[in-house]
Amino acid sequence: MDKKVTTAELITQSLAMLCISLLACQTGYICAWPSYTTSNFESNSTLLDRPMSAWEISLLGSLPNFGALLASPFCGLAFNILGRKYATIFFGLPYVEAEKSIAFYKRLKIGSKDIAFEIDKIRLQINPSSEKTYLPVDTEEAKDLAKHEEQQVEQKPTSSWKFLMKSKSSQRALATVLIIMTLIILMGCVVLQVYAEPLFKEAVPSMPPNQCAILLAVDFLIASLVCVFIIDKFGRKPLLIVTAAISGVCMFLLGLQLQTHFAPHWFTVLIIYTYSFVYMLGCAAIPFVLSAELFLPEVRSLCNSITMVCLWSVNFVTLLVFKPLAEWLGLGIVFYCFSMFSFVGVLFGYAYIPETKGLSVDAIQLLFLKKK
């Protein structure tokens, strides 16, 4: 079977991905709406009974992340409450239409042997050590998938927690993802997203803040599209190091500009847009790519859940303390801190992040087992 994706498959899958991704607009609304309301809530003419304080404004922007933080661990608990029987039925529902779905996305005919092959590949990815998995003859791709964890075929199944406690490579991979995720958030982009309009109003008073915030969203979109085409070309590690270094320089210049005003206002806008573009080009995507590539199937769900808890926790704390710190230390000092975390991310990425481009999950585990 030809491994290349046909044009029809690519178009169909891309359109489906676009439709599903539109659901993320809801998250965008939640993250962006404080940007357009803080000015009113802080003013004496607010519709509230009194102007909001700095801590209340911080909570306004950070509480959505706290809600997501609380929800993440309880997702698994909710399924446990349903019971194994009904949870199994629930998880099995998507497979009722699996054949039709695969036929649609791969542009195949119902009943085709190629559909059975695709389902077998999915089974291999979910349970590589299964002895009952069907392996098509002369199919190298399926055989490669079956090689995963061959040494553990005879072992009894263990829980994800027990597996994680015993697997040194998984522990190191999880620690690596958590640290880089924390550093990436502390580079300050989440602050720009949530407080875009008030930041533009203070940093660039000569330009309409609402227009600047809209252009910032366009900047993010363009960078995200470019990232799709370059992340596999240049690799994860080089892209992370370069974009983190440029982000650090931009944040330092922005802090210096806010403190000394050594350049005109258009330079401030240029720095913000350059930082946002470069950050989305690599730093914003790499942690999520690594979380999808570094973990073994036995602990992937657990480690990704822990990663998401870390993401929402650091987002919450960052947004909570930003406003008070900005009033206490000044915006310039706060952006110096963002710059510092960017350069720490460069050093950490250089020393501890492995290059995973083109590597299987087993090969990646060996990288974490090597002595530094």
pLDDT value at 136 more than 80: no
Do 44 and 148 lie in one domain? The reply is no
Domain-located, residue 91: no
Where is average pLDDT lowest: 193-202, 288-297, 340-349, 356-365?
A: 193-202
Do 134 and 164 lie in one domain? The reply is no
Name the residue with tokens 């099995």: 92
pLDDT, tens digit, 9 for 90 and up, residues 60-96: 766 666 666 665 555 555 444 655 455 545 545 555 5
pLDDT value at 58 more than 80: no
Do 243 and 171 lie in one domain? The reply is yes
Do 223 and 319 lie in one domain? The reply is yes
Domain-located, residue 165: yes
Name the residue with tokens 């002895």: 131
Q: What does the pLDDT read at residue 90?
A: 54
Do 310 and 257 lie in one domain? The reply is yes
Domain-located, residue 56: yes
pLDDT value at 53 more than 70: yes
> Amino acid identity of 76?
G
At 191, the pLDDT band (50, 70, 90 cuts) reads confident
Q: Percentage of the chain with pLDDT > 90?
A: 21
Do 122 and 248 lie in one domain? The reply is no
Q: Which of 152, 183, 217 is the last residue of a domain?
A: 152
Do 213 and 340 lie in one domain? The reply is yes
Report the CATH number that the domain containing residue 341 is assigned in CATH: 1.20.1250.20
Tokens encoding 59: 């909570």
Q: How far is residue 349's CA from residue 183's CA, in Å, rounded to a whole number?
A: 10
Domain-located, residue 7: no
Contact 285, 279 (CB under 8 A): no
At 145, the pLDDT band (50, 70, 90 cuts) reads very low
Mean pLDDT for the stretch of residues 155-170: 78
Mean pLDDT for the stretch of residues 250-264: 90
Residue range(s) defining the domain that contains residue 114: 97-152
pLDDT, tens digit, 9 for 90 and up, residues 1-51: 446 778 887 888 788 777 766 666 666 666 666 666 777 777 777 767 788
Number of folded domains that form the chain: 2
| Whether pTM exceeds 0.85 | no
Do 333 and 306 lie in one domain? The reply is yes
pLDDT, tens digit, 9 for 90 and up, residues 304-331: 888 988 888 898 888 888 888 888 888 8
Where is average pLDDT lowest: 43-57, 232-246, 258-272?
A: 43-57
Q: How far is residue 241's CA from residue 244's CA, in Å, rounded to a whole number?
A: 5
Do 54 and 114 lie in one domain? The reply is no
Domain-located, residue 123: yes
Domain-located, residue 315: yes
Domain-located, residue 87: no
pLDDT value at 109 more than 70: yes
Do 117 and 169 lie in one domain? The reply is no
Domain-located, residue 183: yes
Do 120 and 208 lie in one domain? The reply is no
